[in-house]
Amino acid sequence: MSRDGHGPDRGHDDGSDDNSSQGTPSATPLPSSPNQSTNDDNTTANTGQNQIRFNTLGNATTCTSCTLSWAYTGDPSVLITLNLTLSPTGEGTSGNNFTPTSTKPLRTLATNIPAAAERYTWMVVDVKEGWYSVDAIGSSVSAFDLNAHSDLFVKNGTNVACLTYGDSLPQHRPLSTGELVGIVIGIVAALCVLAVAFLFPRLWRRALPKPKQTRHGPLLLY
């Protein structure tokens, strides 16, 4: 109460309020999430996410062209390399974030092409029929960890004249025992014919009667 009994002492209460506010610490703002971007236009750049995924490649035919396509989001300056390897599964699988093989690829289809192009045409499919894996690997400094793959089945067409690549050459099978015996007999028969053709004229000349010679006169053959 105030000293005159009419009401509370405002000045005393104000002082109490000031002391109370000074003793209570102010609230600290919560840190923002590292995945949140302050600029929607730089979301991909801030998170460092360059993503590539192949579309369904389907089948390719020998000695014809084949278009490889993919979907890409990220830095438009990123470059990739397209390699062709044997498919480890042969089941038409695809995906991204795989571990590239350390073995030498069968073919390097293209190097340093823009990932943002989202398309590449393999002009001549010059590998034999079978399952292959098309591997896209980041080849620029900003995208060494960018990779994706998709299986591709190549089938033989009516034209196989382009199959000149080392892995596509036909394999030579070993000769069977019967084929070896036939080759040996043929060689022996050929040698026998040559021997007869060489010796027969000599033997024939020796078999002829020798002419008789007289002292005076011509040679008589009887």
Using the Cα atoms of residue 55, residue 59, residue 62 and residue 65 in order, give the sign of their dihedral: negative
Which residues touch 146 (CB under 8 Å, ≥6 apart)? 50, 51, 52, 74, 78, 80, 115, 136, 137, 138
Closest CA to 121 of 65, 78, 52: 65
**Residue 36: inside a domain, yes or no?**
no
Q: Is the pTM of this model over 0.85?
A: no
Domain that holds residue 97: 47-168
Number of domains into which the chain is organized: 1
What are the structure tokens assigned to 94, written together? 């695809």
Within a domain: residue 128?
yes
Q: 219 in a domain, yes or no?
A: no
Each residue's pLDDT tens digit, 57-70: 889 999 999 999 99
60 within 8 A of 123, measured Cβ to Cβ: no
Encoding tokens for residue 91?
């089941």
Report if residue 84 sits inside a domain.
Answer: yes
Q: What is the pLDDT of residues 135-158, one digit of tens each?
A: 998 876 656 567 888 899 999 988
CATH number, domain with residue 102: 2.60.40.2550
Question: Does the pLDDT at position 10 exceed 70?
Answer: no
pLDDT at 21 over 60: no
Whether residue 143 is contained in a domain is answered as yes
User: Mind listing the pLDDT tens digit for each residue in 76-129?
Assistant: 888 999 999 888 665 555 545 444 554 578 889 999 999 999 999 999 999 989
Backbone phi, psi, residue 123, to 5°: -65, -40
Is residue 198 in a domain?
Answer: no
Does residue 20 lie in a domain region? no
The verdict on residue 109 lying in a domain is yes
